[in-house]
Amino acid sequence: MTKVKICGVTQISHALVAGEAGAALIGLNFAPESPRRLSVPQAQEIARALRRRFPGPAPALVGIFVNATAADMRRTAASCSLDWLQLAGEEPWETAAALEQPLIRVVHVAPDETAEGLLGRLAEGARWIHSKESLFLLDAYVAGRHGGTGKTIDWELARRAAREYPLLLSGGLTPENAEQAAGLVQPWGIDVSSGVESGGLKDEAKIRAFLAAVRRADGGLGADEIKKEGRLWGGPGVHGAS
């Protein structure tokens, strides 16, 4: 079952809507360059609100960082009850391997990327983080940017990578193309940020529409049904996970 990550959430109401619609992961951005950047107190408020609304299985909280130190990431993770750390910059693989928390490592894909080149980069990363619970996130390469660009990547290339590695597909996804992307690539999960926004803010109707589109690709299983089957919060195929 395809997981959905709603990234760059800045308001409690949007986090709650994402959880109610069936999002498995919610991204909180701590990157200094991001217009969606949160302070630690803001992230703590969102985390508390989610735990109150979902006392049982709750959406996992993902902290997004760009070139932060391992010490800073650990400190923020502890303060904000983060379940995953997402490294979206040029952090060396040694930094990723040294983190204790489950890890999402962003791999930026250029327009001229070849399958051999991408699979080689993923294989190198897997050697570093194979022993921990981890995912790759494929996003479009845009010079000087680390995400949220709204640019798509080659889905056929992503499909080949998803056959070999658990990954999140990102880049230019919207409620209009999410069903097609999920059906073609068949990734572990789908990540969206700007594609569910209006005027730079998350749009609740677009969040719901995006989740509904991914569920259609999965055969129409609704959020409540997925929860009952225990297939919403996490799943097999993650490095280090049983």
Asked whether 172 and 152 are in contact (CB, 8 A), the reply is yes
Question: Which of 83, 139, 154, 191 is labelled catalytic?
Answer: 139
Residues written for the chain: 242
Question: Which of 7, 80, 83, 154 is labelled catalytic?
Answer: 7
Q: Which two tokens stand for residue 48?
A: 């508390």
For the question of residue 80 being annotated catalytic, the response is no
For the question of residue 224 being annotated catalytic, the response is no
- Residues marked active site are found at 7, 139
